[in-house]
Amino acid sequence: MPPIDCEDQELLEGFLTETTELIEKLDDDLITLEKSSDDTDLMNRIFRSIHTIKGASSFLGFDLLVKVTHKTEDVLNRLRKGELVVTPEIMDVILEATDLVKVLVSDIKAGEIQEREIDGTIAKLLPFLSDSAAAAQKAPEPAAAPVQAPAAEAPAPAAAEQPPVLSAPETPVDAPPAAAVVPPAAPVPAPKPASEAAPKKTPAPPKPADGKGDDLSDSSTVRVDVKRLDDLMNQVGELVLERNRMIQINQDLQQGEANRPDFQEEFGKLTKRMSFVTSELQMQVLKMRMIPVEKVFKKFPRIVRSMSRDLGKEVDLQIFGEETELDRSVVDEIGDPLIHLIRNAMDHGLESPDERIAAGKSRVGTLVLAAVHEGNQIIISIKDDGRGIDTDRVGRKAIEKGLISEEQLAAMSQREMFDLIFLPGFSTKDKATDLSGRGVGMDVVKTNIKKLNGLIEIKSEKGQGSEFILRLPLTLAIIQSLLVEVEGEVYSIPLSSVLETIRVDQRKFHMIGGQEVLKLRDMVLPLVRLQKVFNVQQRYERDDFCYVVVVGAADKRMGLVVTRLVGQQEVAIKSLGNYLANIPGIAGSTILGDGRVTLIVDPVGMIEGNE
């Protein structure tokens, strides 16, 4: 396929950024529209979004995009004018068209325009543009649905049956009806270069629409609030002032004025101001990297809608705290795990309406998605009021699948049984469906959350519902860390994975099957001596007392044995470069106040390696 021949790269980038934003918003708006179809502001906003995309893409000559958006716009226009009424059927088609737009845009983004099969979708839109569609809907309410449904269905299979015809000969076929419909329906100012441009297309076999347009989310450009930029400029200005002050003080020092009584005080003040300005600056830059979690959350109403239609379940999705901000890098990573958790809740958690009524619950299930800040972490919870996790069934299935033995199960606590669902290959379904049953989903959740140094907690009560709680660090670039000393060498452990620290007598350690363990309250904690895994030479005389840092990753706990705790410090993570990228147990490095490099321990890797 020819690469995009766009004269102005900047123009194209602008188009992509804008379109991506519009599409993201569109999905959300469309779902809302279905619930409140009489909201004219909303309706107009949707119409404008599609119209903007159409205008921009016709200007840049993306013909396929123009065709799809044009037809969608026509249908929307009729909805807007009240000639049609919002029904789930219309919404299905419009959402399908939006999906197609996403695929086309991601093609453009990938730099390669592919010939996609778009006529099927367009054919589904067309019935809503004919006069009979409007007439059918104007008929009394009960009649509307049956009459209109066949009308929608009829042409669709026809289009699907057509072999993937080259688009060139086909364009004239659907161009006339389009032209015929538009003038009475929509006085759209935009010209229609679509029909003129279409014949230019090089005939090529259409490729199946494989990309789902999911990759639209990661953008390489950032939009920053002007106010934040101004704040940043102010901070930089202050930093420059402090630098000048420092140069001055250094000069005084050179000229031997260091003995002046107020010199020390001056220097102390400067240090304080410097540290203040730097931390402010750090906060500002960090804030610029922050985006609201809404970016991920707004995909979900759409997913929940289509799933509830597929599964025949009724769900009320409630979203809280979508304005909670977190680092871009984290936002990009949590999308997948959340989708899996939501699917899980929809498929396994919530019951069908009949079952719910039989269980004495309301017909409609509730799914609550909430995000909230807590200290240096963000907590995301997915809570359903479904049937909860049946630990007996989970245990039986795990044995059936050969993941654990009978004895292991017998020794398990309730919490450990919940954790079984994270095992790769685990599924309570006997048959894999489109939605679930392959035993991959929860494993993905665990892996991704671990990668982010996060923790997962499950709360569940049989018959009452379950709650999955994710604890994630706000940012991956600067972290709070605990500095520890191992026989003279200093290491840093991310505080987000540290659960507690204890000073213990080494004589209290037990040996179980070659593994050192510590009995901590009701838990048996496996221990890892950092001195051993990092081959640190013994420097001090053997001391009976040492410190154990209890770390957790996802659902596992472990104790790291160290000589001494140094303190807590905020550190910036530095990569070790390509050559030393994959050292087991080491996540990266950081530079301490004295300029020395300290390695950051990777508790996740440690726990994995210990298994």
Partner 1 sequence: MQDALVPMKIDDTHGELIQLVSFNLDQEEYGVDVLKVREIIRMPIVTRVPNTPHYVEGVINLRGKVIPIISMRKKFGLMEAENDKQTRIMVMDVEGELMGFIVDAVSEVIRISGSEIQPSPAVVSGGIDQECIAGVINQAERLLVLLKLEMMFSRDEKRFFSGM
Cα separation, 438 vs 422, in Å, equals 12
Our CA angle for 377, 383, 384, nearest 5°, is 170
Instruction: Scan residues 523-552 and list those touching partner 1 (CB under 8 A).
Output: 533-536
CA dihedral 535, 538, 539, 541 (to 10 degrees): 150
Work out whether 584 is an interface residue with partner 1 (CB under 8 A): yes
Out of 598, 603, 606, 607, name the contact with partner 1 by CB under 8 A.
598
Side-chain half-sphere CA neighbours of 510 within 13 A: 10
**CB nearer to partner 1: pick between 143 and 581:** 581
Stretch that binds partner 1, among 9-17, 117-125, 193-201, 582-590 (CB under 8 A): 582-590
Q: Do 219 and 17 meet the contact criterion of CB atoms below 8 Å apart?
A: yes
Stretch that binds partner 1, among 22-30, 359-367, 540-548, 596-604 (CB under 8 A): 596-604
How many residues belong to the site for partner 1 (CB under 8 A)?
A: 25
Out of 489, 517, 520, 605, name the contact with partner 1 by CB under 8 A.
489
Three-state secondary structure string covering 49-74: HHHHHHHHHHHHCCHHHHHHHHHHHH
Cα separation, 597 vs 491, in Å, equals 9
Q: Do 146 and 139 meet the contact criterion of CB atoms below 8 Å apart?
A: no
- The binding track of 70-99 with respect to partner 1, each residue x by CB under 8 A or -, is ------------------------------
Sign of the C-alpha dihedral computed for residues 121, 126, 128 and 132 taken in this order: negative
To the nearest whole angstrom, how small is the minimum distance from the Cβ of residue 532 to partner 1?
Answer: 10
Work out whether 577 is an interface residue with partner 1 (CB under 8 A): yes
Stretch that binds partner 1, among 56-64, 302-310, 513-521, 588-596 (CB under 8 A): 588-596
**CB nearer to partner 1: pick between 432 and 597:** 597
C-beta atoms surrounding 406 within 10 Å: 9
Q: Do 329 and 356 meet the contact criterion of CB atoms below 8 Å apart?
A: no
Instruction: Scan residues 556-575 and list those touching partner 1 (CB under 8 A).
Output: 574-575
To the nearest whole angstrom, how small is the minimum distance from the Cβ of residue 375 to partner 1?
Answer: 28
Out of 576, 605, 608, 610, name the contact with partner 1 by CB under 8 A.
576
3-state secondary structure of 44: helix
- The binding track of 432-471 with respect to partner 1, each residue x by CB under 8 A or -, is ----------------------------------------
Stretch that binds partner 1, among 74-82, 161-169, 243-251, 577-585 (CB under 8 A): 577-585
Q: Output the six-digit token pair for 154.
A: 């009829």
To the nearest whole angstrom, how small is the minimum distance from the Cβ of residue 591 to partner 1?
Answer: 5
- Residue 130 sits at φ, ψ, to 5 deg, of -80, 160
Cα separation, 295 vs 371, in Å, equals 12
SS3 content of the chain, % helix, strand, coil (to 5): 50, 20, 25
What residue ranges bind partner 1 (CB under 8 A)? Answer: 489, 533-536, 574-586, 589, 591, 595-599
